[in-house]
Structure 1
Amino acid sequence: MFGYRVPAPDEAMLISGGRRGLGGAPFRVVTGHGKFVLPIFRKTRFLSLAMMESEVVEKCVTRQGIALTVRAVIAFKVGNDHESIVNAGQRFLSDQEQMSVLTGRIFAGHLRSIIGSMTVEEIVTERQKLATEVLDTSKSEMAKIGLHVDSLQIQSIDDGSTGYIEAMSRPHKAAIQRQAQIAQAQATQAAAEAEQAAARKQAEYARQTAVVQAEYNAEVDRAKAHADQAGPLAMAHAQQEVLAAQTELALKQAELREKQLIAEVVKPAQADAERIRVLALAEAERMKIQAEAAASYDRVALDRMLIDQLPQIVKEASAGLAGANVNVLNGADGLGEIAAGLVGQGLTILDSVRKNLGGEPVGSDVEPYRGSGHRDDDGPVDIR
């Protein structure tokens, strides 16, 4: 729009003509927004609010009388407040480059004054202290001209050809060199120890690898030997089982043969011995009866005694056969034959006794055994 002016973000628009500004200023200050300005009747100028810098290279003398060349850089700008813009505009609006020149001169003076009260050691070791003191002393003076200092940096301090700073730094350099040599030696030693440790670890790893390899080879050899022995061991085990089976079979055959010998030899021999014992007992009984009969001449009493003793004789004979191994082949018929044989054996014994006594055979006046029954003196005999 014609006559409407707008300042840049880093500028202040100064409008002169017409009424005065705030605080009796000869112009009005506009920042951050536009303003309608009447042409011909109003005049508009712009003041930069951007950051500026000024470099100072000043030769200063310390409290010790040693000349130092100090190089510093000051960063400054016009203040953002209305008063600072008015002050700066009144002084630098027509020639804004003079702000850097004037700022450099102001700081050079304060720098010479402060360095003159300090020693070289303080200046070298306490640069920040020096910069802070220069800023503090120049702040009020800079504010009067509408400028605000953001920072002051001491870039370098040079004593020229005097060599004072270098001499001052020699002990520190020597200490630093000594520390560097010590550090280098320690680093070399640490490197050597690390190499030795690495070599030991490598040797230990090689040893462990060799041990593991040897154990693996031994395990393989054992497995191979076990596999080679598996066939013969299996065959030997099979033969052992065959021998065990044959031994068990031989033992069973021996037990069977023992039982057969007992049945075929021992038991019959025991039966014969028992039969002989019974006959001997019968003979002894016969002689006893014969002696008693001869003493009494009572033939009838003798026969009666024989008849009375017959059941006992048969009982003894049957007792003798009780432990014998008697094989019954025909079932009930065979058992009857055995019983008939026992009775016949008893009659034979009795008949033999009578013959020796000169009497009649038993069968002539004694009826054969027909089972259980009883009669008087002339009846059948009850053999139990």
Structure 2
Amino acid sequence: MFGWHVPAPDQAMLISGGKSRGEAGLPFRIVTGHGAFVVPVMRRVTYLTLSLMESVIEEACVTQQGIGLAVKGVIAFKVGSDQASIAAAAQRFLADQDRMSVLTGQIFAGHLRSIVGSMTVEDIIRERQKLAEQVLEASKLEMANLGLVVDSLQIQSIDDRGSGYINSLAAPHQAAIQQAAKIAQAQADQAAAEAQQASAQKQSEFARATAVKQAEYQSEIDQAQATAQQSGPLAEAKAQQAVLEEQAKVAAKNAELREAELVAEVVKPAQAEAERIRLLAQADADRTKLSAQASAAEGRIALDQAIIAQLPQMMQAAADGLANANLTILNGTDGLNDAVAQLAAQGSTILQTVMQGLAAHHDVGQQGGAGDRTDPPALGPGPDDDAAR
């Protein structure tokens, strides 16, 4: 757009001309980070770089000991980002911005000579960073007045300009280093020799151990082979013994099975038959006993009937005896009645005695069986009854 200007990110745009003034009464206006409209012809636009720049210095310096040194360093710097730094740098370097590097190098060279003159070579060599920090600190105020900011200062090299002083300083260290290097080399060689010796010894020991192990292995192999050769018949005998044991187990098992078969086929049927015979015999015996008891009962009934049938005869015999007896009755009818009563009582007693004897004879007959039964004797008056009477 005509009249519209935009500065680059690493630039500061300066607008001058007209009656307008910048901040802090500057004769120009500073624009960074955005664009601005500038009236053509009446206003002028210029740009100041804000990018990083460097300045290389190589300065001949003399140390506190009077020893000349050539010190080389690199300075990294730029224009400050604030309005004051931009204004200060613009007023000094806007027309010739390359002059910032030259002037910065001169400023640092002067402070470098001054600071190196207050130090010894040994301090400079050992504390190079300290030297850089002191130079930066001494240059800070002047660089700020110029609107410049130093990012870093690096001392790249220090040379004694051929005097050999630095080499002389380094000689003891170099000698010590060389000596240490030789000692280290000797130690390394010794360690290598010892390592080789140890390696050879280990190889020897390994070979010896290997031979021993091989001999042991061969001995074990020979022993195993001998054992295998000896164990052949033994293994065969054990195998045969195992077969025999298995056969014995099979035979025992077969015997058990045969015994079970015999029990099932012979013993059990025999026991069943014996039990059947015993039951039949018991039934027959019970039947015989019952028959005997029935016969005995029939005999008793017959006996009782025979006794009952003979009672009239017995009473008649008793009456006949009384009729033929020579009895004297003193009390008349009462005495006769008493005699008859006594005779009846005697007959009853005789009958009870006969019945008891028959009952006892019947019990004996039951115990002895039907074949042992004895017929009861016939009852009646005996040949001695008259004598008794």
Q: TM-score, normalised by structure 2?
A: 0.58
Between structure 1 and structure 2, the one with the greater Rg is 2
Q: Which residue of 2 aligns with 1:61?
A: 62
Deviation at 1:237, TM superposition (A): 8.0
Q: Give, in whole Å, the separation in 1 of the partners of 2:238 and 2:46.
A: 122
Q: Secondary structure at the match of 1:185?
A: helix
Q: Give, in whole Å, the separation in 1 of the partners of 2:141 and 2:21.
A: 27
Q: Give, in whole Å, the separation in 2 of the partners of 1:238 and 1:42.
A: 124
Q: Secondary structure at the match of 1:121?
A: helix
Q: 1:60 to 1:238 in 2, by over 3 A?
A: closer
Q: Which residue of 2 aligns with 1:15?
A: 15
Q: Letter of the aligned partner of 2:7 in structure 1? A: P
Q: 1:61 to 1:236 in 2, by over 3 A?
A: closer
Q: Give, in whole Å, the separation in 2 of the partners of 1:88 and 1:235.
A: 114
Q: Secondary structure at the match of 1:85?
A: helix
For residues 15-40 of structure 1, give each alpha carbon's deviation from its aligned partner in whole angstroms, at most 9, with x where no partner exists: 11231111111111111112222222
The within-5 A match list for 1:181-192 is: 181-192=182-193
Q: 1:93 to 1:239 in 2, by over 3 A?
A: closer
Q: Give, in whole Å, the separation in 1 of the partners of 2:99 and 2:124.
A: 30
Q: Which residue of 2 aligns with 1:37?
A: 38
Deviation at 1:238, TM superposition (A): 10
Q: Letter of the aligned partner of 1:3 in structure 2? A: G
Q: Which residue of 2 aligns with 1:88?
A: 89
Deviation at 1:203, TM superposition (A): 2.9
The within-5 A match list for 1:167-178 is: 167-178=168-179
Deviation at 1:208, TM superposition (A): 3.2
Q: 1:49 to 1:228 in 2, by over 3 A?
A: same
Q: 1:77 to 1:238 in 2, by over 3 A?
A: closer
Q: Secondary structure at the match of 1:139?
A: helix
Q: 1:141 to 1:220 in 2, by over 3 A?
A: same
Q: Give, in whole Å, the separation in 1 of the partners of 2:95 and 2:155.
A: 31
Q: 1:235 to 1:165 in 2, by over 3 A?
A: closer
Q: Secondary structure at the match of 1:53?
A: strand
Q: Letter of the aligned partner of 1:122 in structure 2? A: D
Q: Secondary structure at the match of 1:128?
A: helix
Q: Letter of the aligned partner of 2:17 in structure 1? A: G
Identity of aligned residues (%): 67
Q: Which residue of 2 aligns with 1:117?
A: 118
Q: Give, in whole Å, the separation in 2 of the partners of 1:16 and 1:65.
A: 53
Q: Letter of the aligned partner of 2:136 in structure 1? A: L
Q: Secondary structure at the match of 2:136?
A: helix
Q: Which residue of 1 aligns with 2:105?
A: 104
Deviation at 1:167, TM superposition (A): 1.4
Q: Letter of the aligned partner of 1:112 in structure 2? A: R
Q: 1:227 to 1:47 in 2, by over 3 A?
A: same
Q: Which runs of 5+ in 1 are unaligned?
A: 241-384
For residues 27-74 of structure 1, give each alpha carbon's deviation from its aligned partner in whole angstroms, at most 9, with x where no partner exists: 111111122222222211111111111111111112222221111111
User: Higher mean Cα deviation, 75-84 or 214-223?
Assistant: 214-223
Q: Which residue of 1 aligns with 2:6?
A: 6
Q: Letter of the aligned partner of 1:138 in structure 2? A: S
Q: Which residue of 1 aligns with 2:198?
A: 197
Q: 1:59 to 1:238 in 2, by over 3 A?
A: closer
Q: Letter of the aligned partner of 1:108 in structure 2? A: A
Deviation at 1:85, TM superposition (A): 0.6
Q: Give, in whole Å, the separation in 2 of the partners of 1:115 and 1:57.
A: 13
Q: Which residue of 1 aligns with 2:158?
A: 157
Q: 1:228 to 1:30 in 2, by over 3 A?
A: same
Q: Give, in whole Å, the separation in 2 of the partners of 1:194 and 1:78.
A: 64
Q: Give, in whole Å, the separation in 1 of the partners of 2:199 and 2:34.
A: 74
Q: Letter of the aligned partner of 2:10 in structure 1? A: D
Deviation at 1:239, TM superposition (A): 11
Q: Give, in whole Å, the separation in 1 of the partners of 2:203 and 2:22.
A: 88
Q: Give, in whole Å, the separation in 1 of the partners of 2:227 and 2:102.
A: 103
The within-5 A match list for 1:171-320 is: 171-233=172-234
Q: Give, in whole Å, the separation in 1 of the partners of 2:118 and 2:238.
A: 113
Deviation at 1:214, TM superposition (A): 2.2
Q: Give, in whole Å, the separation in 2 of the partners of 1:180 and 1:238.
A: 78
